[in-house]
C-alpha cells in the first residue's frame, strides 16, 4: 500500500524501535522526503531510537550520505579540495585505519562518496551489488575472537553456534571529533535470517541467561532505558560525571582485551603508554558528560564508551572533584552499564536484504554480533556487504538539566 505521507510504526514485542514506510512521491528514496515528512522521520528516530526502512538495496551512496547529513544541520558542507577516499567528513579522523587501531580492518571507503563505508565479510567482485569501487574488495567482519580477552573456543563457535557482543559502543572517533548524531546502515548482501546464534550471559547464575539471535544481528540498547534503570544515587553520579577518553583511544586500547560481554576492557596495564601513541594534543582529548539529553523527548540517556574511556571525573555537592582512574573507571562503567544489556532490553536487528537502519547514535549503544569465518557446512566463510554512513557533528552532545 502506498501512501501520500511517511508512516512510523513501533515494532511489536521489542523494547524500542520502529518501522518506516516511505510516501509514494519519494520513489523509494528517503533523500527525496519533503521537509515535513523528514521532520516526522527525525522525530521518529529520536523517539524510537532505531528505525528500519525496508527494500532499500538500491539506495545510492549519495542518497545515503544526504539522508544521514540531514539529521544534523551543524555538519559543514564538504570542501571541494577534499580528495575522494580521504575519509573526510566521516565520523572518524585520519587515524581511523591506523595500523595499530582496533578499527583498522572494519571496512573500506566508497571512492565516489567517502563518507560512506563498505563493511562486511568476504570477497566481492567489481560487478557485485554494493561494491561501488570498480575493483575486487575483501572485507573482514569484526569477530570477538580478535578483540576479547578470552574468546569463545572454536568448538563453542562452530558446534554450539555461540557468539558474543563484539563491542558495545557509540560510533565516534572520541578524539578531536564530536560523535555523529545518527548512523545509517544498509544491508545489501546478508546471510539468511534462518541462521541463528546464541549469546550466553557468562556472568549469570549457571550461565542460564541467553539471547538467541540471527547470525550477524546488530544489537542495540537504549541509553534512556539504561539511565531510567539506575538507582537514584547512580543517576545523580551519572549526571555529575564527565567521561575523559584516552587520546587516540582505539590505538591506546589495542594491546588489551575486552570483557566477555563487550562492555569494557580487562585492566592488565597492557595499553600503550601515551608517548607511544601517534602525535596528540591535550586540547583534542574528549571529555564528555556521561548523560546526554534527547532534544525531542527531553529524556536523559546514559551514554559512555566503556572500552575507550580513560578516567571519570565526578563533581561532588561541595564542588570538589573525585576522579576514578582507568581500572576503577572501567569497573564503575561496567556496574552502571551491565543491567542495560539483559536480553529483554536488547533490540537484536535481524537483517533482511535491503534494510536501511537509521539509529540515534548519541542515544543508544550498539554492538556487532555473529561469527562468519569458516562456519558454513563446506567450511567456507559466510558473506555479507553493508554500507555505513555517519558524519562527525560540529557540536558535542550535552546534558540539559
- What DSSP assignment string belongs to 72-102? -TTSPPPPTTSPTTS-TTSSS-TTTT-TT-T
DSSP letter for 144, please. G
3-class DSSP state of 351 = coil
Task: Decide whether 171 or 353 has the Cβ nearer to Fe ion.
Answer: 171
Listed in sequence order, the residues at least 6 apart from 330 whose beta carbon sits closer than 8 Å to its beta carbon are 264, 265, 267, 306, 309
Q: How far apart are CA 108 and CA 66, in angstroms?
A: 19
Tell the smallest beta-carbon distance from residue 254 to Fe ion (Å): 17
Tell the smallest beta-carbon distance from residue 324 to Fe ion (Å): 26
Binding mask 122-161 for Fe ion (x = CB under 5 A): ----------------------------------------
Find, among 104, 107, 113, the residue nearest to 69 by Cα: 113
| CB-based closest residue to Fe ion | 171
How many residues touch Fe ion (CB under 5 A)? 1
Tell the smallest beta-carbon distance from residue 37 to Fe ion (Å): 27
C-alpha cell at 359: 539509529
Task: Decide whether 17 or 239 has the Cβ nearer to Fe ion.
Answer: 17
The residue count of the chain comes to 401
Task: Decide whether 72 or 171 has the Cβ nearer to Fe ion.
Answer: 171
Tell the smallest beta-carbon distance from residue 251 to Fe ion (Å): 17
**Cβ contact 371:71 at 8 Å:** no
Q: How far apart are CA 148 and CA 265, in angstroms?
A: 8
- What DSSP assignment string belongs to 27-66? TT-GGG--HHHHHHHHHHHHHHSEEEE-S-TT--HHHHHH
Binding mask 155-184 for Fe ion (x = CB under 5 A): ----------------x-------------
The helix (H) or strand (E) run that includes residue 386 is strand 384-390
Tell the smallest beta-carbon distance from residue 319 to Fe ion (Å): 37
**Cβ contact 386:110 at 8 Å:** no
Q: How far is CA 146 from CA 216, 272, 368, 395, in A?
A: 16, 17, 13, 33
**Cβ contact 295:398 at 8 Å:** no
Tell the smallest beta-carbon distance from residue 171 to Fe ion (Å): 4
C-alpha cell at 235: 543517576
Task: Decide whether 239 or 362 has the Cβ nearer to Fe ion.
Answer: 362
**Cβ contact 366:142 at 8 Å:** no
Tell the smallest beta-carbon distance from residue 351 to Fe ion (Å): 14
Q: Per DSSP, what are the bridge partners of residue 313?
A: 242, 323
Task: Decide whether 33 or 340 has the Cβ nearer to Fe ion.
Answer: 340
106 binding Fe ion? (CB under 5 A): no
Task: Decide whether 171 or 261 has the Cβ nearer to Fe ion.
Answer: 171
Tell the smallest beta-carbon distance from residue 359 to Fe ion (Å): 9
Cα dihedral sign, 93-67-107-155: positive
**Cβ contact 302:337 at 8 Å:** yes
Tell the smallest beta-carbon distance from residue 169 to Fe ion (Å): 6
Tell the smallest beta-carbon distance from residue 60 to Fe ion (Å): 22
3-class DSSP state of 349 = strand
Q: How far apart are CA 229 and CA 222, in angstroms?
A: 11
Task: Decide whether 33 or 216 has the Cβ nearer to Fe ion.
Answer: 216
Tell the smallest beta-carbon distance from residue 120 to Fe ion (Å): 14
Binding positions for Fe ion, rule: CB under 5 A: 171
Amino acid at each position: 500500500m502506498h501512501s501520500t505521507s511517511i508512516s512510523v510504526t513501533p515494532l511489536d514485542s521489542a523494547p524500542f524501535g520502529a518501522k518506516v514506510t516511505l510516501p509514494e512521491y519519494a520513489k523509494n528514496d528517503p533523500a527525496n522526503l519533503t521537509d515535513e515528512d523528514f521532520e516526522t522521520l527525525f522525530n521518529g528516530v529520536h523517539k524510537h531510537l532505531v528505525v528500519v526502512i525496508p527494500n532499500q538495496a538500491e539506495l545510492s551512496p549519495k542518497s545515503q550520505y544526504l539522508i544521514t547529513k540531514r539529521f544534523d544541520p551543524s555538519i559543514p558542507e564538504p570542501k571541494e579540495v577534499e580528495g575522494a577516499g580521504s575519509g573526510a567528513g566521516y565520523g572518524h579522523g585520519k587515524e581511523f585505519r591506523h595500523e595499530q587501531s582496533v578499527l583498522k580492518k572494519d571496512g573500506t571507503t566508497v571512492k565516489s562518496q567517502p563518507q560512506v563505508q563498505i563493511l562486511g565479510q568476504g570477497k566481492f567482485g567489481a560487478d557485485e551489488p554494493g561494491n561501488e569501487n570498480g575493483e575486487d574488495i575483501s572485507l573482514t567482519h569484526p569477530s570477538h575472537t580478535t578483540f576479547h580477552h578470552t574468546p569463545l573456543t572454536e568448538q563453542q563457535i562452530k558446534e554450539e553456534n555461540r557468539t558474543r557482543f563484539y563491542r558495545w559502543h557509540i560510533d565516534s572517533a572520541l578524539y578531536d571529533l564530536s560523535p555523529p548524531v545518527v548512523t545509517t546502515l544498509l544491508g545489501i548482501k546478508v546471510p539468511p535470517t534462518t541462521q541463528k546464534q546464541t549469546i550466553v550471559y557468562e556472568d549469570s547464575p549457571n550461565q542460564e541467561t541467553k539471547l538467541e539471535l540471527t547470525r550477524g544481528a546488530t544489537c542495540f540498547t537504549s541509553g534512556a532505558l539504561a539511565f531510567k534503570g539506575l538507582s537514584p544515587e547512580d543517576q545523580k553520579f551519572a549526571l555529575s560525571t564527565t567521561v575523559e577518553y584516552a587520546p587516540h583511544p582505539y590505538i591506546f586500547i589495542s594491546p588489551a582485551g575486552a570483557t566477555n560481554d563487550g562492555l569494557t576492557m580487562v585492566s592488565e596495564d597492557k595499553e600503550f603508554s601515551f608517548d607511544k601513541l601517534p602525535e596528540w594534543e591535550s586540547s583534542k582529548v574528549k571529555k564528555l558528560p556521561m548523560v546526554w539529553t534527547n532534544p525531542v523527548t527531553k529524556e536523559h540517556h546514559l551514554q559512555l564508551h566503556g572500552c575507550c574511556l580513560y578516567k571519570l571525573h565526578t563533581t561532588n555537592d561541595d564542588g570538589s572533584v573525585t576522579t576514578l582512574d582507568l581500572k576503577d573507571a572501567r569497573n564503575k562503567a561496567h556496574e552502571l552499564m551491565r543491567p542495560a544489556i539483559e536480553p529483554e532490553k536488547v533490540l537484536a536487528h535481524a537483517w533482511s536484504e535491503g534494510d536501511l537502519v537509521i539509529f540515534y547514535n548519541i542515544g543508544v549503544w550498539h554492538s556487532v554480533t555473529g561469527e562468519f569465518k569458516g562456519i558454513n557446512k563446506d567450511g567456507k566463510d559466510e558473506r555479507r556487504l553493508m554500507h555505513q554512513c555517519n558524519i562527525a557533528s560540529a557540536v558535542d552532545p550535552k546534558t540539559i538539566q
